[in-house]
Amino acid sequence: MNGELFQICRLVTAAKQALREEAPIQYTPGPYEEATAFVCLPEASRPGAGPYTAPHVEAWFAHMRQRGLEDVKLLCPVDVPDRNILGFVNITGSAMICFRRGGLASAFTGSRHFDSVKKRWSGLYTEQELSSPPPGKPRFQNPTPTFRQTLLEIQALAVQIDCPGFARIFERARVILDGAVEAPRSAYSLPLPQERCALFDAADCADVFGAMGSWNDTPPCLAGEKGLSREYDRLSDALLRQIRLAILYAVNEW
């Protein structure tokens, strides 16, 4: 899974767990993370005060709790205009929507920067107020049946175009989705309920979109040679959509 999207999933689930437990947030940076900061909008109760920059996750969460934070949701696009850009940074379009007392809502969107000396990524999330918040929180449906069917179809395509490695990946994702193997929850440190782990891990396993060596690289050429370009595009779009829907449901609906 794209590291940018994965981090925001971790932030949202950690915040949701802390809110439910009425406790400080528990967030352990990944080995590739250098620092994560948050630029928060000025508070209306402090006229003339500038934006507040929280230097780390714990400070951000404490500050948002003081502002009346009640819930956090992940949003991300389920379709993209060009799958080939998915191997690049700062292109997922994901956001954390923070719902606060009084019907207020704001969105944090992030950017990531690589330190070539430390070989780590730093993240900066910036808050934007939603002047017209939605009347209700977004809700997401369980996409498991359609996700499973898409995995079966794209596995068959991978076999047809002589990509056995990708066929095995799609098969493993389906096996995880079906619960036939234990979802590797400990590998992600996401505080998801058990019934959501398999769905999230299947989505992560099936996410083969990237740059060199990915499903975006040689497979489209092999599909073209066999006259299957349209089927490749159809199923690739469908897979990406199901992956994103699975992530949105697993992260938000608990």
Share of the chain above pLDDT 70, in %: 94
pLDDT at 221: 97
User: Rounded mean pLDDT of 112-134?
Assistant: 89
Contact 203, 246 (CB under 8 A): yes
Q: For the chain, how big is the Rg over CA atoms in Å?
A: 20
Amino acid, res. 75? L
Q: Is the pTM of this model over 0.85?
A: yes
Each residue of 54-99: pLDDT tens digit? 999 999 999 999 999 999 999 999 998 888 888 888 888 999 999 9
Q: 131 is written with which tokens?
A: 């002047």
Please give the biggest Cα pair distance in the chain: 66
CA 222 remoteness from chain centre: 29
Each residue of 129-181: pLDDT tens digit? 887 767 788 999 999 999 999 999 999 999 999 999 999 999 999 999 998 77
User: Rounded mean pLDDT of 23-36?
Assistant: 92
Domain boundaries, the chain: 3-129, 144-252
What is d(CA 140, CA 97) in angstroms, rounded to the nearest whole number?
14
Instruction: Indicate the DSSP class of residue 136.
Output: S
